Every structure is written in structure tokens, then in C-alpha cells.
Chain A
């Protein structure tokens, strides 16, 4: 490399270095708008296993049957047998067999997931339409169909997270990843 081209290269590197430093020093814009708890309330619908965030209200399986017949039965079948949509009941004890049936009762590890999912996504053609009482009631009904709670058990923010699902211990976490 000639002296001249070395000088040019060094100058180019110096300019590039300077540009990089400038770019790094420029903070990104801060364009987020502050939001209050009240503004967030209607959006904050995710419910973890602890039940944190469960709303007031309650329902029983007996009340949930009416909700189920009106909003769920057409796709999930009588008593949650399924078809055309997923089966919701049955299959407890089938997971280690050659014909496992994975339902809310046999597979789902947490009852809070049932409330969370029904409230955010069901019924398929009209999500976010059920009242919290209706969601508690129909969750109670699905748990009742699986023999997990009694027909008159009241499901609410306190009792629902305490329901122990049959497959609670059935999962092996792969995070952080195990290496083979």
C-alpha cells in the first residue's frame, strides 16, 4: 500500500469512527405518551397463575351452563365433547397412552388460563363481549364438566387461582434451554 493510500484510508477510518461515535451519542427519540392506571385498566386483561388482576365478580357451574349453551355449545358440543372446535372435557389419565386426549381438564396446568382465554378470545365471533360474571360462571362450568369443581362451587378472584388442575405437574420447562 502506498503512503498516499494509507493516509486516505486512515482519514476515512477517522471519519467513520467519528460518525459512529456521533450516532451512538444521539439518544433515540422519547415519543411515548404517559398513561394512567385508569387508561390501562380495560387493556390489562392477562391473568397469571397467581390470579393477580382477576376482576371482581363470581359465578357457578350451574349459572355457567346457560352461558355455555348460548355462546359455546355450537362449536364445542354438549358437555364440552368438542367438534368442530377443541374438546374441553375428558381425557384425564390419557396423556401417557397411545391416544391422548388433551382438554382443559386433562392437559391445562392452570385454571387462571381458562378465565384469561375465555375473556380475551371467546366466543370466536364476539370476543370481549362476556361480562366478568359470565366468564367466571362458564369457567366454573368447564371445570365442573371435568369433575374438578362441584356444580355449586363459586368461582371468583380468590377461589379460581386455588383450583388445582390435574396436570399441574405435567410440564417440564425448557427455559433457560437445556442442552442435549
Chain B
């Protein structure tokens, strides 16, 4: 009989059968005739579960979301940043729906059949590539972090903001990127000897553009097409983006439409008026590309509350644009003593590392800090040293130590120490 049913009908029949069976079982259990003790099980164990969906969603009880930073409000809702909720995540891979976003003119709606990537300037053969063509190149997969150089600028306000860690430090994410080396396309176009830089430009309304030294473009720069196994999302540069491991996120130009090889930097708006590091004497550092060695404790962190004394794991993320993280130390007494944390993923270069350190909270006050050191020997600086080095309104490349104060009632506060 079941064999002649269509597939849909068969499933419907089966669901009905299961429901009836469940009703019988629970009826029997309530009546208490069959057994002296009813079989243990919550309500969801006594019904047939939900059907499949094509694209999954998180648990109803675990709704997380990005922290939206929209300085122009509804006037320009896609200008600013959406910061990753690092306080709610574990491991090192940022799920695509909560990867941080930094955009200047919103997210463009790009037709991949129409979009082209142009490569021209100081090359032997100016070329353009369709997305279908780019998808045919042999691919590689790499795990890299991406950090906006304005990350942690909110930790430079006069008073420490009492907001979740991600709302201040969440312009950092880490993903598995798939694509191929930019070098392959540059070699196909034929780099002329006079070429020393490239200008990379996006197809958003801002036509976001940055100059990149040719040395980086020929080294580990990637043409990225996939992120964590799926095609790039629109807000991450669909259909194609540049990815410059370890360098300030702004340079990993999304919606990549053009690469021009040049003999010098173009001095675009985002490498002169912005993304330059203002010094107290009025001058500013320009072309500071590498993201400094950094760490932040994500649990426990600002706005959380420890429910009870006893064991708590101190955990967080660490990274360095210069390469691998060699060491993360954790302090619970504001830097008087340090303990070396266990690292996960320390073998990867320019990727997030997860650190963990056991802690017994005795119910007193505590001052939690983490300090990262990379393989080049760079050490994460103290906040006061960082602040003294730059102008009062500096807001890029803040990699200073983050401090969380635990109060005796268990509440965790953002403090400057």
C-alpha cells in the first residue's frame, strides 16, 4: 500500500501515524496504568520534531546579532559599521550572518552576470574578467582574520562605555576564505617594471578605493569568492572582493571592480583624510597597514554578570597582522601578576586564536586583562601608553589592552586601567 503512495502522501501518512502514536503513549503515561513510574521525557520528546528547512536558523533561545553603529541614522543606514557580537561567540570562526560590516555607501545589489573586474594601468595587456571566468581559476582556502582599523575606537571615549565587548571591539571577524592569489591575474596581465603599487576600487556607490603596495599584491593577496563555504554575502563584497591578510580591513576592497597598476600611491580619500594615524604634534602616520598584535577577553566581559562564585573560564580572542600569536597572558589583578593562557589555533598565521584560562572567582573584586605577544616579539601595549602616543582624536589602530572590572556582586564593568 505504502509503495503506491506518492512521496508527499507517504510523509503525511507517516506524520499522522506518529502523532497518533505519541498521543497514545502520553495518554497511557498520564493514566499510569502501564507502569508505576511514567517514562521520563520533556514535551518535545513526545512529539514529532520540526521538518527540514533549506537554510538553517539559530535556536530560538540563542538569538544573536550585530551591534549597529550608524552615525548618520536613517539618513545613511549603510554608512558606518555593524560590529560582530564577539561576546556571544566561541571558537575562532565568525558565522557569516554576524561577520562585521564596515561600509561607506551601503551594500550594492550587484548582478554577477554584468559585473566585471578590470586590470589595467602599467600592464602589458589590459584585461577584464567576468565572474564566471574568475570562478574557473584553481582555488585555495585560507583562514584569515579581518579587522577594521577603526576597531576599538569606542574604547577611546573620555569615559569607558558600558556596552557589550562587541559594541566596542567587534570590528574583528575571522573566516575561511576561498579564492585564488591575486598574483595569478596580475601575471596574466603582465606587470610592467615601472609598476610599484596597485589601486583597488569597489563597485559600491562610494567606489571605495585604496592603494596597495605591489609587494603585498604579489605576496598573499587573495581574490576571494567564498566565505565559510558559501559564496560571499552582499555585505561582504559579493560577487568578488580583495583580501589582504593581516592588513587594515578597509584595504580588502569589497565589490572589486578595478585594479590599476601605478608607479605610486594614488592618495585616495581613505588613505589621506581617513585611515591615517594622527599624532599629538599635528602630523599623522600614513600607510600604516599592518594590524597590531591584540587580544580581548570575550567571556566574562562588559555588561555580563557572574551568577555565582567558583569556577569560571576566562576566554577570548587574539590576533596579529604580523603573523602568528605566540603567547597570551591573562591577569585577574589588573596586571600585577600574569598567567599564560592555553591557545587554540596558534599554528595559523593572521587568523584569530582562541585563548582560555581557568579562574576561581572568590566573590571579591577583580580586574581582568589579557596581553598578546606575536611571533615577531610585538607585545600588546598598555592603554595609557597607546593614548599618549597619538592625538586626542586618533581612532585607528587601537590595539591596547582591554580591562574588565568584576565587582563583588559579579557584575562586569568596562574600566580604563
Question: In this complex, what residue of A is CB-closest to B322?
Answer: A177
Interface string of B274-297 (1 = CB under 8 A from A): 001011111111111110000000
Contact A96 B137 (CB under 8 A): no
The 8 Å CB contact of A47, one of B120, B129, B266, B284, is B266
B133 within 8 A of partner (CB): yes
A32's partner among B71, B188, B258 (CB-CB below 8 A) is B188
B348 within 8 A of partner (CB): no
A174 surroundings in chain B (CB, below 8 A): 285-289
Q: Are B75 and A98 in contact (CB under 8 A)?
A: no
Instruction: Name, among A28, A45, A107, the residue most crowded by chain B CB atoms within 10 Å (CB to CB).
Output: A28
How far, in whole Å, are A45 and B72 apart by their CA atoms in the complex?
27
- Chain B residues with Cβ below 8 Å from A40 are 118, 120, 126
B207 contacts chain A at the CB level, 8 A cutoff: yes
Interface size in chain A (residues, C-beta < 8 A): 50
Count of chain B residues with a beta carbon within 8 Å of a chain A beta carbon: 63
Flag whether B119 is at the interface (Cβ < 8 A): yes
- Once A44-B260, A170-B284 are accepted as A-B contacts, the answer to whether A113 and B273 lie under 8 Å apart by CB is yes
Q: Which residues of the other chain, B, contact A98 by a CB distance below 8 angstroms?
A: 392
**What sequence of 0s and 1s flags, for each residue 90-127 of chain B, a beta carbon within 8 Å of any chain A beta carbon?**
00000000000000110000000000001110000111
A93-148 contacts to B, CB under 8 A, are: 95-96, 98-100, 102, 104, 107-110, 112-113, 116-117, 120-121, 124, 127-128
Assembled-state Cα–Cα distance A128/B105 (Å): 13
Contacts of A127 in B (CB 8 A): 105, 205-207
Asked whether A32 lies within 8 Å of B129 as measured between CB atoms, the reply is yes
Q: Are A46 and B201 in contact (CB under 8 A)?
A: yes
Q: Whole-angstrom distance between the alpha carbons of A116 and B257 in the complex?
A: 17
Given the interface pairs A32-B188, A43-B258, A44-B120, the reply to whether A171 lies near B127 with Cβ below 8 Å is no
A residues near B (Cβ < 8 Å) are 28-37, 39-40, 43-49, 75, 84-85, 95-96, 98-100, 102, 104, 107-110, 112-113, 116-117, 120-121, 124, 127-128, 170-177
Seen from chain B, the residues whose Cβ lies within 8 Å of a Cβ on chain A are 71-73, 75-76, 79, 104-105, 118-120, 125-130, 133-134, 136-138, 180, 184-185, 188-189, 199, 201, 205-207, 209, 213, 257-258, 260, 262, 264-269, 272-273, 276, 278-290, 391-393
